[in-house]
């Protein structure tokens, strides 16, 4: 089995974990009183109260962020699955070469995650002059290092 492919898939799996936690949690914006994410907003305190967004009240930046977040997560899952299938088939069965496809999907998924975070950043920097970003926001940026690096490793394996 190709060590570069295994390392790339492991790195991409860490990126997928960071990506899913980043887009699913509510700490994209965080201050002492509340947290907001892509899907809902929550108040902090003794009792945590969360409310989902009304989809009609969201602007285009939120819709773009949510779109790229979902597409990126799906592409990354399919890319990792394709890489695992290639590794198993290449080792035990035939010489089917799908690692470039897997690597390409993973790279595109990482770029989708970076587009999500960049769009979110651009909106809040332009509209409000900055924001108190939370850990979910930073996880989505960090996943780009893991997923794009892992995708490149799979691609050149």
Structural domain contains residue 39: no
Q: Is the pLDDT of residue 44 over 90?
A: no
| Confidence (pLDDT) at 156 | 87
Select from 117, 20, 145, 92 the least CA-distant residue to 153: 145
Structural domain contains residue 34: no
pTM attached to this predicted model: 0.86
pLDDT by residue (tens digit) across 71-104? 999 999 999 998 888 877 765 555 556 778 888 9
Range of the domain at 18: 3-28+56-156
Structural domain contains residue 40: no
- What CATH number is attached to the domain comprising 60? 1.20.140.150
Q: Is the pLDDT of residue 68 over 60?
A: yes
Number of domains in the chain: 1
Structural domain contains residue 51: no
| Confidence (pLDDT) at 96 | 55
| Confidence (pLDDT) at 129 | 78
Structural domain contains residue 142: yes
> Does residue 121 contact residue 83 with C-beta atoms inside 8 Å?
no
pLDDT by residue (tens digit) across 91-143? 555 555 677 888 899 999 999 999 999 999 988 888 877 778 889 999 999 99
Interatomic CA distance for residues 36 and 57, integer angstroms? 15
Structural domain contains residue 111: yes
134: tokens are: 């939370």
pLDDT by residue (tens digit) across 6-36? 899 999 999 999 999 999 998 899 888 889 9
Other CB atoms within 10 A of residue 67 CB: 14
Residue 28 Ramachandran class (φ > 0 left, ψ -120 to 50 alpha, else beta): alpha
Structural domain contains residue 41: no
């Amino acid at each position: 089995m190709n060590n570069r492919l295994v390392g790339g898939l492991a790195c991409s799996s860490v990126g997928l974990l960071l990506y899913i936690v980043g887009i699913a949690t509510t700490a994209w914006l965080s201050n002492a009183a509340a947290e907001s994410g892509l899907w809902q907003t929550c108040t902090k305190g003794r009792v945590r109260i969360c409310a989902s967004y009304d989809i009609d009240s969201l602007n285009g930046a939120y819709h773009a962020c949510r779109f790229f977040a979902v597409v990126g997560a799906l592409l990354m899952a399919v890319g990792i699955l394709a890489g695992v299938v290639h590794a198993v088939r290449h080792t035990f069965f035939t010489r089917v070469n799908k690692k470039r496809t897997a690597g390409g999907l993973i790279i595109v998924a990482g770029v989708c995650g970076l587009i999500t975070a960049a769009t979110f950043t651009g909106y809040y920097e332009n509209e409000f002059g900055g924001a108190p970003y939370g850990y979910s926001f930073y996880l989505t940026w960090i996943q780009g290092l893991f997923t794009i690096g892992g995708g490149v490793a799979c691609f050149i394996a």
